[in-house]
Structure 1
Amino acid sequence: MSTDHIAALRRWQDSGAIWRVLSRRGDSVTVGLFECTGGQEVDRFTSTEPALLRFLGDRASSED
């Protein structure tokens, strides 16, 4: 089963929460999902999806 990480990040951001790029390595990215305050990390995922990499671009977080 495939996860639509772009849709998940949009929902996360639309709900007022924050996502942050934790690491980038070649064609892989790890993204952390944080509480609305930006404090505690709730979840994280790593992906090599080209569409996700394009969506993230050079941004470091949803606050960019």
Structure 2
Amino acid sequence: MTGPGDVGRLRRWEDSGATWEVLTRGPDGVVIALLSCDAGEEMDRLASADPELLDYVGERRRSDE
């Protein structure tokens, strides 16, 4: 089970079979595109500076890396 917050949201997205991609990364945090599991279409965005999320994403550009 995933906890609340941005990491939980991103992990639930992954657990549903969908993917994500970092659109921007900077000193103010990241903006992540939440992509559909079938066509990779952008469904939503997650913008966050949450240290837990930044640690979880690390240097990856996409969830499949």
Could you tell me the TM-score, scaled by structure 2's length? Answer: 0.84
Once superposed, which parts of structure 1, at least 4 consecutive aligned residues long, lie more than 2 Å away?
Answer: none
- 2:31 corresponds to: 30
Letter in 2 for 1:15: S
Unpaired runs of at least 5, structure 1: none
Residues 38 and 63 (structure 1), Cα distance of their counterparts in 2 relative to 1, 3 Å cut: farther
Could you tell me the TM-score, scaled by structure 1's length? Answer: 0.85
Report how many residues are paired.
Answer: 62
Unpaired runs of at least 5, structure 2: none
- 1:16 corresponds to: 17
Question: Considering only aligned residues, what root-mean-square deviation do their CA atoms show, in Å?
Answer: 1.4
In 1, Cα distance between equivalents of 2:28 and 2:39 = 26
Identical-pair percentage: 44
Contact 1:17 1:38 in 2 (8 A): no
